[in-house]
């Protein structure tokens, strides 16, 4: 196992085998990525914000999937992590917009609260259909 797997395991408090298993059994949300490609990307900037301990984007997304995003903010690169308000402000700045003009989507309540505290609208992701419905109300 590489040191990036060890770092991920240490952050999660699980073994490297369990860490790899989680990612192997948790494939990309294809309907969500297709929705981004077909419905959102033509009209909006799309950013990806992660509390990553290493650059694992190539393991998570294919090159075509990565191209759906206008920018990636990975916490290990900036020394700040969600829910620190500075990382949400940085993500908006890198997209060339203000936080108030952003919609932040995450499945973690505390991260949504952090984004909301800088003025972002938020959606707590539970499933794809719930997300789409809430997003339609926001946009």
Q: What is the pLDDT of residue 52?
A: 78
Q: What is the pLDDT of residue 54?
A: 73
Q: What is the pTM of this model?
A: 0.80
Report which of 96, 16, 108, 95 is spatially closest to residue 53, judged by C-alpha positions.
Answer: 16
Q: Rounded to whole angstroms, how far apart are CA atoms 110 and 13?
A: 19
Q: What is the pLDDT of residue 28?
A: 64
Q: Rounded to whole angstroms, how far apart are CA atoms 25 and 138?
A: 31
Mean pLDDT of residues grouped by 10 in the chain (139 residues)? 54 58 59 95 96 79 94 92 96 98 96 98 96 95
3-class DSSP state of 15: coil
Q: What is the pLDDT of residue 67?
A: 96
Query: Per the omega criterion (within 30 degrees of 0), is the bond before 26 cis?
Result: no
């Amino acid at each position: 196992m590489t040191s990036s797997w060890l770092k991920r395991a240490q952050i999660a408090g699980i073994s490297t085998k369990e860490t790899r298993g989680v990612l192997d059994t948790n494939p990309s949300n294809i309907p969500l990525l297709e929705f981004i490609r077909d419905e959102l990307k033509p009209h909006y900037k799309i950013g990806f914000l992660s509390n990553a301990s290493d650059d694992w984007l190539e393991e998570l997304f294919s090159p075509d999937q990565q191209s759906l995003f206008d920018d990636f903010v990975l916490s290990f690169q900036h020394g700040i992590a969600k829910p620190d308000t500075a990382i949400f402000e940085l993500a908006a700045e890198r997209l060339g917009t203000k936080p108030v003009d952003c919609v932040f989507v995450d499945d973690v309540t505390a991260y949504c609260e952090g984004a909301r505290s800088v003025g972002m609208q938020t959606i707590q992701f539970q499933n794809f259909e719930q997300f789409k419905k809430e997003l339609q109300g926001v946009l």
